[in-house]
Amino acid sequence: MDAAEVPVSVFAAGILMVFAAIVLVFTVVFKPQNLIPVSRRRPDVVATGAGGLTRLTDSAVALINKRLKGSSRGFLVDRDKLERAGLKTQPADFLLMMGAGAFVGAILGYLAGGPFFAMVMLAAAPAGMLVYLSVRTSRRRTKFDEQLPDTIQMLTGSMRAGHSLLRAIDASARETDAPMSEELTRIVNETRIGRDLGDSMLDVAVRTSSEDFSWISQAIEIHREVGGDLAEVLDHVGETIRDRNQIRRQVKALSAEGKMSAGVLMALPIVLFFALILINASYAKTFTSTVPGFMMLGAAGVMLTAGGFWLSRLIKPKY
């Protein structure tokens, strides 16, 4: 039987059996042992009968968390990546959502265009979630950098009014918006439970990939060692950061045309391919049902990837 003539029900049943096998492996073979029930850990919680789907999801999440716990870098995503993006979810939950999206995408792709589109959607759903994670991280980092000058001004104003540094950070966290308020609140909470202020601030600089905030951390560390007027030092740092932000905006405006051109050049072959499928499906079938067609698609993907990398280096100036 030709692969293109496989009934939809058979394909769907096959995918369901694969996922059922994975679930059985999670819940039976790799089932976590010696788990303390919730009624013993939290006596105030009334035990309620959870549904089968809830128990199945909890078992899968517990297993993924157990596998990710001992590794510094998770599979595709880890806690650090989710924190940089501002997501409160756990890595196991995100991976489960990625798997569910891939499953649904494969079914819809097969219903829309057959096995080839099923494989495309199977890879596109996780890739789309990773792109979404990257976009959220980039936007959060940009917003954090834009909030820094105003935050420094609030810090210096509070310290000139007689507040301590930690009290000034706490006041700034209450007055600013996310993500600055989240990071400053985390610094205050970690310091109150005994962590060093400098270490907490350096962690924020690493988590947000902010070179400007690392300068603030270094200025505070130097002040703690040698003394002096910290408010005046932070004023000078704030002026430098404002000048850097101004140059950053100018570079972004000058490189906007190059970024638009790169986006058009990358999207044009893909759009034309799908347009060809809609206009002449029999002609496009050559690319999706023959070995030379698969080879040409693979070569096109490699060339698009190389060209995209080259264009990204050209339109990403260093300053």
Q: How far apart are CA 274 and CA 297, in angstroms?
A: 13
Per-residue pLDDT of the chain (319 residues; tens, 9 = 90+): 444 455 656 666 666 666 666 655 555 444 444 455 555 555 554 444 445 555 555 555 555 555 555 554 555 667 778 888 888 777 777 777 787 888 888 888 777 777 777 787 888 888 888 888 888 998 998 899 889 989 999 999 888 888 888 899 999 898 888 899 999 999 999 998 988 888 899 999 888 888 889 888 888 888 888 877 888 888 888 888 888 888 888 888 887 878 888 888 888 888 888 888 778 877 777 777 788 888 888 888 888 888 888 887 777 766 5
Cα distances (Å, whole numbers) of residue 76 to 91, 94, 129, 268, 297: 9, 10, 11, 28, 25
What pTM did the predictor assign?
A: 0.65
Rounded-to-integer distance, Cα 44 and Cα 26, Å: 30
What is residue 185's predicted lDDT score, i.e. its pLDDT? 92
Q: Which two tokens stand for residue 142?
A: 């940009």
Contacts of 74 (CB under 8 A, 6+ apart): 68, 81, 91
- Please give the class, per CATH, of domain 140-254: mainly alpha
Q: What is the DSSP string of the chain?
A: --GGG--HHHHHHHHHHHHHHHHHIIIIITPPPSPPPHHHH-TTSPP----HHHHHHHHHHHHHHHHHHT-SS-SS--HHHHHHTT--S-HHHHHHHHHHHHHHHHHHHHHHH-HHHHHHHHHHHHHHHHHHHHHHHHHHHHHHHHHHHHHHHHHHHHHHTT--HHHHHHHHHHHSPTTHHHHHHHHHHHHHTT--HHHHHHHHHHHHT-HHHHHHHHHHHHHHHH---HHHHHHHHHHHHHHHHHHHHHHHHHTHHHHHHHHHHHHHHHHHHHHHHHH-HHHHHHHHHSHHHHHHHHHHHHHHHHHHHHHHHHT----
Kindly give the interhelix angle for 115-160 and 91-113, rounded to the nearest 10 degrees: 150
Burial class (CB in 10 A: 0-12, 13-18, 19+), 179: buried
Going from N- to C-terminal start, the domains of the chain cover 140-254, 255-319
Q: How far apart are CA 174 and CA 74, in angstroms?
A: 33
